[in-house]
Amino acid sequence: MADLSRDDLMDQVKQQIALVNAQELLSKMTDKCFKKCIVKPGGSLDGSEQKCVAMCMDRYMDAWNVVSRAYANRLSQERTRMS
């Protein structure tokens, strides 16, 4: 750590944060989509469950984007309203 340059350190921190964020998103999606798509666990993931999981994952990421856009908009609205 002593001979790590500041930029290297920042890069490492950023990478670790990105990794943690990806893991969190992954586990959230797994959780949500398992709940939604696997109603009664059978002997294998059947075709319709697989299709559901695939859709669910894509829609979860869409939802994430919609929410983050809406939240960002609201924050900037509130800022202009208060200034």
Partner 1 sequence: MNSGFDTSLGSAGMYSGGAPSGSGPLEESLGGAGANAELQEFIAMEQQKQQLRATIQNLTDTCWEKCITGNPGTRLDSKTEACLENCVHRFFDVTVMIANRFASALQRQGGM
Give the nearer residue to partner 1 in terms of CB position, either 44 or 48: 48
In this structure, what DSSP letter does residue 2 have? T
Give the other-Cβ count within 10 Å of 37's Cβ.
18
Footprint of partner 1 on 52-81 (CB under 8 A): 52, 55-56, 58-60, 62-64, 66-68, 70-71, 74-75, 78
Binding residue for partner 1, selected from 12, 15, 21, 50, defined by CB under 8 A: 21
- Residue 19, interface with partner 1 (CB under 8 A)? no
For the four alpha carbons of 7, 20, 73 and 29, in that order, the dihedral sign comes to positive
